[in-house]
Amino acid sequence: MPRKRSRYRLEAHRLWEVLERLSLKDGLLLWEALGEDPRDFPLGKAEALKKAKQRIRGDRMSPGITRNEGTKCPAPLRAGERRPLAKKEKRGDRVSPGKRGNQGTERPRYPDPAGALAQELGGWRAGLLYRARKEQNGLIQKLAHQHRESLLELLNLAEGLPLPRRIPTTLAWLEEFARELERLGDAEVLKALLEVRKRGAENPLSYAARVLAARGVQKKEEVWTPTGEQF
């Protein structure tokens, strides 16, 4: 014989305590299970109650389907189900975790010390290096890689030129500068450039060219015999 409805009723204060510990959705389900009218539910704001009732109706209309609460999906997804792609998936679009493309055909990154130095320096120096990379790439890459300190001192020296002449004059002197580096070495060239910069010449690059040309030139010693013959 079924029990009367009154046997399922809880005392008012105990029912209130139980409902406060539950979510609105679970509280409404318990309230209905006890035979009460959902419109008489005593807790929650009207908007929150409306959403809870909508979730309950949705669960009842689609039994066995779990709603994806993590994302705002217009339609619930079954467990383990994938949402169909808007565009048909091509074979090869999906890459296995252990295989991220053909690693064997990747080209090694082109070494670009001049570009790296340009990014580091900025300003007109970066403009000069980028232009040199475009017009004399092999030369400027070699200078930036093998003679970095000498190249930096050359740029410091070129700062004494007027801005409109600064970049073209320096670019025109790069080849001669590289030859002097090969002939004298970094230490001697650096020493000469520092001396020129301290003197503050009006045309520092031309003056530096003369100073470097005079370095390492051996003077011919004249030897005379007692009879006045030179050999």
Rounded Cα distance, 193 and 195, in Å:
5
Q: Is the confidence at residue 92, as pLDDT, over 90? A: no
Domain stops at, among 41, 61, 81: 61
- The answer to whether 186 touches 170, Cβ cutoff 8 Å, is no
Within-domain flag for 107:
no
Within-domain flag for 28:
yes
Partnered with residue 224 across adjacent β-strands are 230
Average pLDDT, the chain: 73
Domain count of the fold of the chain:
2
Rounded Cα distance, 227 and 162, in Å:
58
Q: Which pLDDT does position 222 carry in this prediction?
A: 53
Q: Would you tell me how many other CB atoms lie within 10 Å of the CB of residue 210?
A: 10
Tally helices (H) and strands (E) across the chain.
10, 0
**Is residue 9 very low, low, confident or very high in pLDDT (cuts 50, 70, 90)?**
low
Domain carrying residue 127: 114-214
Tens of pLDDT along 148-183?
Answer: 998 998 898 888 888 888 899 999 989 988 998 899
Rounded Cα distance, 53 and 107, in Å:
60
Residues 123, 53 share a domain = no
**Is residue 126 very low, low, confident or very high in pLDDT (cuts 50, 70, 90)?**
very high
For the chain, what percent of residues have pLDDT higher than 90?
Answer: 12
Q: Is the confidence at residue 129, as pLDDT, over 60? A: yes
CB burial readout 101-133, b (16+ within 10 A) else e? eeeeeeeeeeeebbbebbeeeeeebeebbebbb
Rounded Cα distance, 77 and 196, in Å:
77
Within-domain flag for 32:
yes
Within-domain flag for 6:
no
Q: What is the DSSP string of 94-127?
A: S--TT--S-GGGPPPPPP-HHHHHHHHH-HHHHH
Within-domain flag for 69:
no
Within-domain flag for 95:
no
Place of tokens 């090694």: 108
Q: Which pLDDT does position 168 carry in this prediction?
A: 92
Residues 118, 204 share a domain = yes
Q: Which pLDDT does position 149 carry in this prediction?
A: 92
Within-domain flag for 44:
yes
Within-domain flag for 96:
no
Tens of pLDDT along 41-89?
Answer: 667 667 777 777 777 777 777 655 555 554 455 555 555 556 565 566 5
Task: Quote the pTM value.
Answer: 0.47
